Amino acid sequence: MGQSKAMAGVYIACAAAACAAAAVLVSQRVKVRSQKCTARKILLEFQEACDTPVARLRQVVDAMAVEMHAGLVSEGGSKLKMLPTFIDHLPDGNERGLFYAVDLGGTNFRVLRVQLGGLEGRVIKQEYEEVAIPPELMLGTSEELFDFIAKELVSFVAREGEDFRLHAGQGREIGFTFSFPVKQTDINAGSLLQWTKGFKVNDAIGQDVVAALQGCIERRGYKMRIAALVNDTVGTLAGGRYWNNDVMIAVILGTGTNACYVERAESISKWGGELPKSGQMVINMEWGNFWSSHLPRTYVDESLDNESLHPGEYGFEKMISGMYLGDCVRRVLVRMAQQAGIFGPHVPHKLLEPFSLQTPDMSKMHHDNSSDLKMVAEVLKRVYGIQNTTVGIRKIVLSVCDTVCQRGARLAAAGIVGILKKIGRDGSAANGLNRRNNTFEQSDVNGTHDEVPVNCPTGSGKTVVAMDGGLYEHYGEFRNYMQEAVVELLGEASKNVFIELSKDGSGIGAALLAASYAEYVPT
Ligand code: ADP
Ligand code: MG
């Protein structure tokens, strides 16, 4: 009896404990559910703010064309600098000899040599080396930065194999890819307007970057001539055109973003010099600095901009390029961690660190097809030490990646269609009737839409956009969203527009331009 009482007592005690445990479970479940609810709400609000329906994209397209026009008419007429590059002819395949390129513009620095064999031989042989830029040089002095480039270049030249040969009478000529905004005063002279991306070398602003590099090369006892100063976009255009005459536009989507295209010289009203014989000139848009009230701006963009090295500048780039996409995602996750506790009671310390989530990791999470989102869990654990995330939370994280990627890709597409519109290759130039019936849009009234399309050498009616950059190359979802939006915007006309990866144009393209603008003329 006594025993059974005791047993009963134990039983009751057990039941009470079970009850208490159930209560804890219920309250945890409620908490988890409310965490997810709050996180979902943050996600939905963010998605709404980032939304880019086709009507909104069309406004961005028109704004791009209007700003392009304004930037061509007068200096400072637009946030788009629309810089004339002095390039009035592009490589066509006839180039011959040994040429070099140095490429500075982002995370990596490249040196390259190429042996060109004219139309029959084309690119006989090429070699390149890639070196990471020591981070301290990105914030140091210009002398240190340019001397580093010169050192790498001369060491590369010193290690040249027998199968690369200068022709008799040919000196070493270089194309210098410098992917920052430069005001050019000639094909091979120009001063730095401002640093972008992660660079901030104060004493370089206003300096002639060609003279600076040339000086450093000479001080190292070498004789080389910088024949062309270009940026990665212009190099990509040249590299694309070398193989395909229909290439009219080049776009970079890498650490940063930019675009250039072939413009009718007479449209460049601000151009003070003689009009080139070809009647055309390549314009470096510096489109990263594009801004329009139609861009979907959120709290993420505001805080990212405020905390950036160049607040108020390069707003388009901050929504689109590889340097920033990961950080946009991180900022939403911070809000979710702070307001919804998605990563537990404490916000992981490292999550608060700017740029701690890099775009390649964002893209890894975004491409996770596994049912339990293993890769999302792996990245959260590796980067932030976050353990034990539920599949529900992982799904939310993936959706944030998707939202940021989709917005960036669709805005990039609108930018491209804006350029096509400006050069009369978006298919609407064929709608001459519309114009005469006065049903055209406001931007047409402003004359931003060329009546006569800018012609490519073949006059084929096709337009090829040469793309380069690690973001475009490696982020498949970004590419898909971009392509999809281009088709949405162009409709039928998208059949004549080809967006093609033109890899490493920034290196070989610069060497090709060195050949086009060389002192040495092959005989
Ligand atoms: P840069 O622009 O520095 O000259 P790249 O064109 O190679 O160099 O682009 C590098 C950038 O591309 C990186 O900063 C990164 O943002 C982006 N990137 C590289 N790999 C990936 C990837 N797998 N997924 C998404 N973005 C990537
Ligand atoms: Mg690059």
Provide the percentage of residues in the chain whose pLDDT is more than 70.
89
Q: Is the pLDDT of residue 268 over 50?
A: yes
Mean pLDDT throughout 283-312?
Answer: 97
Using the mean position of ligand 2's atoms as its centre, give its distance from the Cα of residue 159 in Å: 24
User: Do the domain assignments include residue 231?
Assistant: yes
In the structure encoding, which two tokens stand for residue 129, read together? 């080396």
- Measure 290 CA to ligand 1 centroid, in angstroms: 21
Q: Please tell me the distance from the alpha carbon of residue 200 to that of residue 182, in angstroms, as a whole number.
A: 15
User: What global pTM score does this model have?
Assistant: 0.90
Atom of ligand 1 nearest to the CA of 506: 4
Tell me the mean pLDDT in the region 9-30: 49
DSSP string, 466-494: EEESHHHHH-HHHHHHHHHHHHHHHGGGG
For residue 289, report the distance from its CA to the centre of ligand 2, in Å. Answer: 17
In the reported structure, the alpha carbon of residue 481 is separated from the centroid of ligand 1 by a whole-number distance in angstroms of 17
- The confidence score (pLDDT) of residue 25 equals 52
Burial call 459-498: b when 16+ CB within 10 Å, e when fewer: eeebbbbbbbbbbbbebeebbebbeebbebbbeebbebbe
User: Average pLDDT of the chain?
Assistant: 90
- CA-CA distance, 197 to 306, in Å (whole number)? 15
Domain span including residue 113: 85-244+504-516
- CATH number for the domain spanning 194: value is 3.30.420.40
**Residue list, CB under 5 A from ion ligand 2:** 105-106, 232, 254
CA of 248 to the centre of ligand 1 (A): 24
Mutate to test the pocket of ligand 1, among 177, 232, 252, 359 (most ligand atoms within 8 A of CB): 359
- To the nearest 5 percent, what fractions of the chain are helix, strand and coil? 50, 15, 35
- By alpha-carbon position, which residue is closest to atom 24 of ligand 1? 360
Binned at pLDDT 50, 70 and 90, residue 382 comes out as: very high
Domain count within the chain: 1
User: 227 in a domain, yes or no?
Assistant: yes
Quote the pLDDT of residue 2: 41
172 domain-assigned: yes
Q: Ligand 1: which of 253, 330, 406, 474 to mutate, judged by most atoms within 8 Å of the beta carbon?
A: 474
Mean predicted confidence (pLDDT) in 296-311: 96
pLDDT digits (tens, 9 = 90+) for 316-367: 999 999 999 999 999 999 999 999 999 999 999 999 999 999 999 999 999 9
Rg (CA), the chain: 27
Q: Is residue 122 part of a domain?
A: yes
Q: Does residue 107 have a pLDDT over 90?
A: no
Output the six-digit token pair for 50. 């980032």
Assess whether 110 carries a catalytic annotation.
yes
- Does a structural domain hold residue 109? yes
Catalytic residue among 232, 361, 450, 468: 232
The pLDDT value given to residue 118: 95
Closest ligand 1 atom number to CA of residue 358: 16
Confidence of residue 84 (pLDDT cuts 50, 70, 90): very high
pLDDT at residue 28, rounded to an integer? 59
Q: What pLDDT is stored for residue 507 in this prediction?
A: 86
Q: Is residue 102 part of a domain?
A: yes
The residue among 420, 413, 424, 425 whose CA lies nearest residue 449 is 424
* Set 96, 103, 113, 179: catalytic member: 179
- Whether residue 483 is contained in a domain is answered as no
pLDDT number for residue 428: 84
> Does residue 165 surpass a pLDDT of 90?
yes
Residue 49 structure tokens: 């703010």
Predicted confidence (pLDDT) at residue 225 exceeds the cutoff of 50: yes
Is 179 catalytic? The answer is yes
Question: Quick one: pLDDT band at residue 36, thresholds 50, 70, 90?
Answer: confident
pLDDT at 476 over 60: yes
> Exposed, middle or buried, 207 (CB in 10 Å: 0-12/13-18/19+)?
middle
pLDDT band at 15 (very low <50, low <70, confident <90, very high): very low
Does the residue 23 lie in any domain?
no
Answer whether 183's CB lies under 8 Å from 136's CB. Answer: no
pLDDT band at 1; cut points 50, 70, 90: very low
Could you tell me the pLDDT band of residue 442, with boundaries at 50, 70 and 90?
very low
Which of 400 and 26 is assigned the larger pLDDT? 400
Rounded Cα distance, 419 and 316, in Å: 15
**Mean pLDDT, range 22-38, rounded to an integer:** 66
